[in-house]
Amino acid sequence: MASRKSSGDGFEVLADELVARVRALVDINDETNGLVSTAEQLAERTPLLGTAPPAMHLALRLREAAGPTGLTGEVSAADTELGSYHRALQATVRRYQDGDEDIAWQLSEEGRAT
């Protein structure tokens, strides 16, 4: 949970929890990059199923399934979406933290002025 009900009428955003979620997304993104690499390797290799026509046909179908329009494409698309979500969440956390700092500064300045 990245926010909780505060004692007033609003919610309190827990920036540390959001930052932890951003870090978790980075870890997931790293793992997804590894999956893309593995899928690409599968698409490049010809499975050793023999030279009989059915085996050759199966090997071709397996390579196609792992190729750019198959497994590699799906994992790459997921990786792109995850990266986009990560950047958006990171920017949101940064804006929230900057806004929090601005408000704290303004409150401390007003407190000194009175």
Please give the chain's pLDDT, 114 residues, in tens.
455 555 556 666 677 887 788 788 888 888 888 887 887 887 787 777 888 888 888 888 887 887 777 887 888 888 888 888 888 888 888 888 787 777 767 666 665 554
CA distances from 44 to 65, 69, 76 (A): 11, 13, 16
Is residue 102 included in any domain, yes or no?
no
What local confidence, expressed as pLDDT, does residue 8 receive? Answer: 59
Per the domain annotation, does 71 fall within a domain? yes
Residue 67 lies inside a defined structural domain of this protein: yes
Helix/strand/coil for 8: coil
The strand pairing partners of 13, in sequence order, are 3
83 to 25, 58, 60, 88: CA distances (angstroms): 8, 34, 32, 9
Kindly report the length of the chain: 114
Supply the Cα-derived Rg of the chain in whole angstroms: 24
Instruction: Please state at what angle helix 15-44 crosses helix 53-66, rounded to 10 degrees.
Output: 150
When divided into structural domains, the chain yields a total of 1
Q: Is residue 61 part of a domain?
A: yes
Burial of 27 (0-12, 13-18, 19+ CB in 10 A): exposed
Parent domain of 54: 27-81
User: Is residue 94 one of the residues assigned to a domain?
Assistant: no
How is residue 50 written in tokens? 């023999």
Regarding pTM above 0.85, the answer is no
> At a CB cut-off of 8 Å and minimum separation 6, what does 103 contact?
none
**Is 21 contained in some domain?**
no
Q: Is residue 103 part of a domain?
A: no
Q: Could you tell me if residue 113 is inside a domain?
A: no
